[in-house]
Amino acid sequence: MPCCSPSLRRTALLALYALLCGLAVPATPALAQEVYPSRPVSIVVGYPPGGSVDLVARTLAVELGHRLGVPMVIENIGGAGGAIGAQRVASAAPDGYTLLVGSLNELVINKLVTRVVKYDLKDFSAIGHIVSQPLVLVASPGVGVQNLAEFTQKVARNPGKFSYGSSGVGTSLHLAGEMIKEQGRLFMTHIPYRGVAPLASDLLGNNLEFGMFALSSGLPYIKSGKLIALGTTEASRSAITPDIPALAESPQYKNVDIGGWFALMAPAGLPRPTLDRLRKALHDSLQSSEFRQKMQDNGATVAATKLDIDQFLAAEVAKYRKIIASARIEE
């Protein structure tokens, strides 16, 4: 058979090239599809550095970074009891690159006490529960009380003279303080602060008599003797601090039962593969012995990994709706 001419061969090769290019086009989007995560992930904390939420977020970020294989960048966006940071995440693209380490304050309480908060739990994809911990009532050394009985007696005898501080109006710390006032029939002024650092500074400087802390952020001051622990706020003593009595052990404060917790959240509408990837990374992080020890050292208990986070959050909303109505807290 005679060989075809050069022009025919070129024509045939060009046709074959065009055919191959055409076949390749449909495959391009699949090949270019991003595998999550392929770039740094931001973790928003709705408070300034140095508080309990910040501590949990930074410790968790190390573990998540190991498992996801990308840097985890902490963004501290303080204000409005954590609500500004939470709103930032609720409004972010649901791509898994903007997460929130949120607390009871901004995820549940804020929405129940103020109309300013526009987001709701439905605006988030819940990844999982991280840790829980009690709150703790502390006294400045300068006020001259060493235990709950002395606190109650001194404040009751001097109505309106003393103040207590918290990390903001409508926070779990504020709510706990108001419960203590109500059940102890005490008159104290609430002083809201923009985070733990300025609150601790005023207590240590004897510019404020009493304060409410999450146990993780108050424990370093208590261990060093700079602040005096008067009692924790859950129904029984924390196994991590068995030497600090629960407020509920006193008949006068028997109904004080409020704690703090932290959860990892993402914007609503997160794709299922991304949600599953993050849930697996969180699950594995919570099993880390280093993470568990760090949390225990700071007064927090790591969450049970089998907990259904959506059911848990729904139950917390129902619980605190009743508590807030009883305490009559409204901003």
Confidence grade of residue 298 (pLDDT, cut at 50, 70, 90): confident
Q: Answer whether 0.95 is exceeded by the pTM.
A: no
pLDDT in tens, 215-243: 988 999 999 999 999 999 998 998 889 99
Burial 251-290 (b: 16+ CB within 10 A, else e): ebbeebbbbbbbbbbbbeebeeebbebbbebbeebbebee
Using alpha carbons only, give the angle 39, 40, 45 rounded to the nearest 5 degrees.
150
Q: Using CA atoms, how far apart are residues 331 and 328, in angstroms rounded to an integer?
A: 10
Distances (CA, A) of 170 to 81, 164, 216, 226: 7, 14, 20, 27
pLDDT in tens, 121-170: 999 999 999 999 999 999 999 999 999 999 999 999 999 999 999 987 77
Report the pLDDT value the prediction gives residue 330, as an integer from 0 to 100.
60
Q: Using CA atoms, how far apart are residues 217 and 212, in angstroms rounded to an integer?
A: 10
